[in-house]
């Protein structure tokens, strides 16, 4: 799925208009665009402010806005609102992720647009689904604190956010899933109707509910045991060997042995027959009961092993292991490069950057980069020029 591949993409013919910024809404648009939809991103005069974020936000725009067209409209003017309404009427799907009440103030809320364009699928990416919290402003980190994720991630007494915008990204994914379902429902209704028309609907995806979904397994743990689960750093693991170990030169490696057979293989690899033959460590349950002592004894051996040599040995033995990898190191990851998951994209300013593709294959193909990252307003004339003249 790239510029030289003539095969049809699954969402070709679907037209999407996107009123979004930051991560959640743009992720939804990215997925639809990568799958072949024509996604028209509406930017304010001067461009989406996400383009110029500093710090850890610097990569947001490049990451979540490929394969889209850029149209500049000033929605606070009658002309901008009129153009937006005309464009929405020519689209199958509309995406938005602005603060509660903003789209209604602009006359671009679902209730208004559904009367004008009954086939429109309208997707709102919000902080909360309808309920007592729905008017609150939310951020990924806010809902991680509210939704149990930060509690489970950090050590006891030190809640810690996950190291990525997990709820924003997954919230966009659920928005895209809703779009696919709504398109299917609309088209089925159209096929069953004597007039050949099907209605659109409103889809809502929310950060808080997304985070609760991520924490759902821990909620079930409590309901089944009556005991709140401890944070992950202080949890009682289900497996005896399932941890990060320090090796020679202070390097680290995650190593797991989740079955009795894997434990025997690991002991043989490390030349620890004393552990392999200890009757008190014959089963995983026994080893879990002695886990601190077992990890200490394994650590005494592993501290003398070279990471590269040991990794090759673990690989050959078929044992689960992982180096502790920084995000920048992924740019040279041999698997990502060989599997086609990391490809160059023209950044629209004369440069190029490696970008991560959607993590799926469809018929053996990766949905890829089809166009350069759009410059601010690059497609305004093209897109508005296709609208019927009044």
Report if residue 173 sits inside a domain. Answer: yes
Q: Residue 234: its pLDDT value, please? A: 84
85 and 40 in a common domain: yes
* Single residue among 293, 308, 329 that ends a domain in this structure: 329
Token pair, residue 35, equals 């799958």
Q: Residue 193: its pLDDT value, please? A: 74
Report if residue 104 sits inside a domain. Answer: yes
Q: Residue 2: its pLDDT value, please? A: 42
Report if residue 208 sits inside a domain. Answer: yes
- Residue position matching structure tokens 């079930």: 220
Q: Residue 194: its pLDDT value, please? A: 65
Strands 93-96 and 342-346 turn out to be unpaired
Q: How far apart are the first and last CA of the chain?
A: 38
279 and 195 in a common domain: no
Distance, CA of 285 to CA of 291 (rounded, Å)? 10
* Single residue among 296, 329, 362 that ends a domain in this structure: 329
Per-residue pLDDT 10s for the chain (390 aa) are 444 445 789 999 999 999 999 999 999 999 999 999 999 999 999 999 999 999 999 999 999 999 999 999 999 999 999 999 999 999 999 999 999 899 999 999 999 999 999 999 999 999 999 999 999 999 999 999 999 999 999 999 999 999 999 999 999 999 999 999 999 999 998 777 766 679 999 999 999 999 999 999 999 999 999 999 999 988 778 899 999 999 999 999 999 999 999 999 999 999 999 999 999 999 999 999 999 999 999 999 999 999 999 999 999 999 999 999 999 999 999 999 999 999 999 999 999 999 999 999 999 999 999 999 999 999 999 999 998 876
CA torsion, points 278, 284, 290, 295, in degrees to nearest 10? Answer: 90
CATH number at residue 282: 3.30.1540.10
* Contact by Cβ (8 Å): 117, 200: yes
Confirm whether pTM is higher than 0.75: yes
* Domain of residue 287, residue span: 237-329
* Single residue among 329, 353, 368 that ends a domain in this structure: 329
Report if residue 259 sits inside a domain. Answer: yes
164 and 71 in a common domain: yes
- Secondary structure in 3-state letters for 35-79: CCCEEEEEECCCCCHHHHCCHHHCCHHHHHCCCEEEEECCCCCHH
* Contact by Cβ (8 Å): 35, 10: yes
Give residue 271's region: left, alpha or beta (phi > 0; psi -120 to 50): left
350 and 291 in a common domain: no
Report if residue 4 sits inside a domain. Answer: no
122 and 244 in a common domain: no
- For the beta carbon of residue 202, count every other beta carbon within 10 angstroms: 17
Q: Residue 8: its pLDDT value, please? A: 87
Report if residue 257 sits inside a domain. Answer: yes
208 and 353 in a common domain: yes
70 and 30 in a common domain: yes
Report if residue 85 sits inside a domain. Answer: yes
Q: What SS3 state is found at 206? A: strand
Report if residue 9 sits inside a domain. Answer: no
Distance, CA of 359 to CA of 346 (rounded, Å)? 20
Overall number of domains in the chain: 2
* Contact by Cβ (8 Å): 120, 111: no
Distance, CA of 201 to CA of 299 (rounded, Å)? 57
Q: What are phi and psi of 321, to 5 degrees?
A: -155, 165
198 and 157 in a common domain: yes
250 and 319 in a common domain: yes
The secondary structure of residue 267, as a DSSP letter, is: H
């Amino acid at each position: 799925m790239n510029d030289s591949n003539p095969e049809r993409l699954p969402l070709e013919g679907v037209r999407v208009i996107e009123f979004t910024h930051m991560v959640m809404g743009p992720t939804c648009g990215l997925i639809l665009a990568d799958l072949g939809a024509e996604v028209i991103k509406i930017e304010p005069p001067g461009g989406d402010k996400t383009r110029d974020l500093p710090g850890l936000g610097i990569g947001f725009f490049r990451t979540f806005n490929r394969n889209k067209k850029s149209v500049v409209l000033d929605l606070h003017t009658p002309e901008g609102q009129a153009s937006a309404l005309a464009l929405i009427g020519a689209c199958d799907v509309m995406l938005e992720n602005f603060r509660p009440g903003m789209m209604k103030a602009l006359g671009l809320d679902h209730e208004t647009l559904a009367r004008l364009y009954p086939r429109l699928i309208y997707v709102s990416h919000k902080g909360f689904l309808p309920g007592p919290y729905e008017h609150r402003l939310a951020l990924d980190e806010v809902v991680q604190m509210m939704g149990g994720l930060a509690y489970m991630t950090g050590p006891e007494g030190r809640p810690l956010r996950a190291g990525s915008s997990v709820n924003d990204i997954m919230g966009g994914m659920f928005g895209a899933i809703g779009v696919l379902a709504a398109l299917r429902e609309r088209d089925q209704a159209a096929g069953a109707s004597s007039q050949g028309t099907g209605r659109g609907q409103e889809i809502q995806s929310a950060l808080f509910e997304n985070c609760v979904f991520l924490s759902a397994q821990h909620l079930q743990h409590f309901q089944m045991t009556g005991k709140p689960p401890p944070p992950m750093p202080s949890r009682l693991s289900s497996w005896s060997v399932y941890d990060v170990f320090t090796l020679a030169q202070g390097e680290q490696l995650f190593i797991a042995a989740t079955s009795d057979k894997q434990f025997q293989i690991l002991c043989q690899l490390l030349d620890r027959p004393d552990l392999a033959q200890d009757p008190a460590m014959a089963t995983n349950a026994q080893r879990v009961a002695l886990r601190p002592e077992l990890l200490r004894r394994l650590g005494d051996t592993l501290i003398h092993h070279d990471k590269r040599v040991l990794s090759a040995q673990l690989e050959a033995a078929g044992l689960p292991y992982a180096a502790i990898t920084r995000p920048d190191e992924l740019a040279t990851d041999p698997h990502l490069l060989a599997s086609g998951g990391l490809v160059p994209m023209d950044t629209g300013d004369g440069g190029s950057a490696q970008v991560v593709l959607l993590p799926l294959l469809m018929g053996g193909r990766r949905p890829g980069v089809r166009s350069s990252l759009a410059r601010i307003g690059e497609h305004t004339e093209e897109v508005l020029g296709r609208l019927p003249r009044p």
